[in-house]
Chains A and B, each alone.
Chain A
Amino acid sequence: MDAILLAEQALNGLQFGLMLFLLAAGLTLVFGIMDMINLAHGSLYMVGAYLAASVATASGSFVLAVLAAMAGTAVLGALLEGSLLRHLYQRDHLHQVLATFGLILMANEAVRMIWGPEALSLNPPQALSGPVELGAELFYPAYRLMIIAVGLAVAVLLYFLVAHTRLGMLVRAGASNREMARIMGVRVRLVFTLVFAIGAALCALAGALLGPLLAVQVGMGESVLILAFVVIVIGGIGSVRGAFVGALLVGMVDTMGRTLLPMSLRAVLPPSVAANLGPALASILIYVLMAGVLFFRPQGLFPARG
């Protein structure tokens, strides 16, 4: 166990956590304010990644690709909210789950029809494709550093937006007591559409940034959706601060667990048992974390509702 490994894993955990935060921020607001379970959130992430890959191939500019993906997905999100999801707010959760699950299937098929079944490749900008030396013997991929920087910047921006702007005030009011906010004259419809569009844009940002690290493929949204739900349940539904803390916790626990758990098991168990048990335990660690948080704080770490 040495310092370099710890430092590198901390950066990896931070990077993973920040990307989860981008996904969870939109999800938690939609869930918290509109009381709407949107399973199709992951589909917006997928669409964002596909848009980014297409624009990057067509224009050759990664920055342009990210911006276009965010804009395009935000518009799509707003259209989706205005046309379909709006009618689901008053329904119970089962209806919402069914309808948005249907959206997932439709989005996957649509993407398959438009872009084909094979995964697309999205490459990081050439300047960021190598490693950066951060200190003695600590090399870290430049691209991942950039992702960390962007993730932190967005977190600060969101904090400012939620804590210090009029829109943020309305959002917080909606999250803590939707009915009261409505009675006080908040134009909830407009707020809802705006929140949904912002959430979609953040999804697209995550999709575009993770594209070069993962693969742009049909169904990429589903696995990450589950993690995003874990994050908002840990953080407290409706709370952006909770999403931030929850995302970093999940990112760190998953990354550290994948290294440290097999290592420490090997110290106490025979190698063959440890080799089987280690990866299996590491992959359920975040769910153990969630269960633990729910046991002690059923409302999550930072409940939005008093």
Chain B
Amino acid sequence: MKKTIAALVLAGLASAASATDQIRIGFMSTLSGPSAALGIDIRDAFALALKANGGRLGGVPAEMIVVDDQMNPDTGKQLVARLLKKDRVDVVTGIVFSNVMLAVAPAILDNQTFLVSANAGPGAYSGEGCNPYFYAVSWQNDGYHEAAGHYATTKGLKNVVLLAPNYPAGKDALTGFKRLYKGQVVDEIYTKLGQLDFAAELAQVRAAKPEAVYIFQPGGMGINFIKQWVAAGLNRQMTLITPGFSADEDVIKAVGDPMLGMFNTSHWAHDLGNAENRRFVADFQKEYGRTPTVYAAQGYDTARLLDAAVREIKGRVEDKPAFGKALAAAPFKSVRGDFRFNVNHFPVQSYYLRQIWRDPGGRVTNKLVSTVLTNHADFYASACRMKPW
């Protein structure tokens, strides 16, 4: 009997030794320009989770190859070709913007490499186009906006003007908002992606005289929009509602006090009470000296999902069906609380309402107010016929 166990242990060791001795993560993100803060937060939180594991994912030494897509789809394509062909990565993650995602995803998925998104969750991969190699740890693009639309309805806002950049996630955003908003949409304004001066659009909003304005302007675009919104005095004339992206720590840091009182929706808040989150927020603050954003929470969760899935398959990442099944089971505790993947590999999760306030320490930051949507699944999943392994 003892001998059998010893033999089994030896066999186990042998198979562990023959398994991958290293897992390579291609981390492509937006790390320069006005929206660099997003990619940097994802990168830093991913690295933090890796560091807490002693540089390993699921017990296997992990190498993180970090590249900057500069928010440019063409740059992204070149970098991904290098990550796949030269670096031969096992997983690609870190992509912030949906336009970059849509440009590079076909190459990654055709190569049968796992694409685990820590941010962009475009509609193209959540419905009919769902793919066994594509996982979004963050959200489906519409999620935040559906929550915001629902909130605007319950608050009784009768008419709104919507404003978003003219790119895939911008269209997803306004579609999402309208799906659960029951009032009247006075106007939909599309801006250029990367636009930083909103004078013309602000004048248009002022003339339309809506009760509220909903914007989706991620990163530096949001910082500029809200600054100019305040400078134009529009904050005295109407309510501004934003998704969590445009009211997170990076925007608050740049705009400051004028944001006090604003409401926004998100899938995570730094004051969510679960144990994983408390530890994440404390560790992140200790390591980097700043409050984490939703992007950071997503980066952290992505690393921890990979960690748990690799552990589940005992490091055999080259066994793709096994790795895929382990990822889909999501055997980890997310900092956002309840989390599971739907059939399309997009999260089923709750969305919260946050408000910006001055905390007792005098810091302007977000405060969790209530749950807007509980265990919310996206509307695309029903169209997804996921290919079995």
Chain B, 182-218, contact with A by CB distance < 8 Å: what is the 0/1 string? 0000001111100011011101101100000000000
Q: Determine whether the beta carbon of B191 is less than 8 Å from that of A279.
A: yes
Q: How many pairs, one residue from A and one from B, have CB atoms within 8 Å of each other in the complex?
A: 96
CA distance A2 to B234 in the complex (A): 17
A218 in contact with B197 given A140-B232, A279-B166 (CB within 8 Å): no
- If A12-B199, A255-B200 touch, whether A131 touches B231 (CB-CB below 8 Å) is yes
Closest residue of B by beta carbon distance from A129: B231
Query: Considering the complex, which residues of chain A in the window 49-76 have a beta carbon less than 8 Å from any beta carbon of chain B?
Result: none
Contact B33 A119 (CB under 8 A): yes
The reply to whether A118 and B32 form a contact with Cβ atoms under 8 Å apart is yes
The residue on B at minimum CB distance from A5 is B207
**Cβ of A283 < 8 Å from any Cβ of B?**
yes
A4 CB–B CB distance under 8 Å = yes
Is the beta-carbon distance between B196 and A275 smaller than 8 angstroms? no
Which listed segment binds A: B34-42, B239-247, B294-302? B34-42
In the complex the two chains form, what is the Cα distance from A8 to B191 in whole Å?
A: 18
Indicate if A178 sits at the interface (CB-CB under 8 A).
Answer: no
A residues near B37, Cβ cutoff 8 Å: 118
Question: Does B220 sit at the interface, judged by CB under 8 A?
Answer: yes
- Tell whether, in the assembled complex, residue A143 and residue B192 are in contact, meaning their CB atoms are under 8 Å apart: no
A5 engages B203 (CB within 8 Å): yes
Asked whether B190 lies within 8 Å of A131 as measured between CB atoms, the reply is: no
- CB of A8 within 8 A of CB of B34, answer no
Q: Does B388 contact A (CB under 8 A)?
A: no
Nearest-Cβ distance from residue B245 to partner chain A, whole angstroms: 17
Contact A215 B201 (CB under 8 A): no
- The residues of A that contact B223 with a CB separation of less than 8 Å are 121, 215
Of the residues B204, B228, B230, contact of A259 by C-beta under 8 Å: B204
List which A213-238 residues lie within 8 A (CB) of chain B: 213-215, 217-219
The 6 closest A-B pairs by CB, nearest first: A131-B233, A117-B32, A5-B207, A139-B233, A8-B203, A141-B231
Apart from A117-B33, A118-B33, 16 more pairs, CB < 8 Å? A2-B207, A5-B203, A5-B206, A8-B207, A16-B197, A118-B32, A118-B40, A119-B34, A119-B220, A130-B233, A213-B196, A213-B228, A214-B196, A214-B224, A215-B220, A217-B33
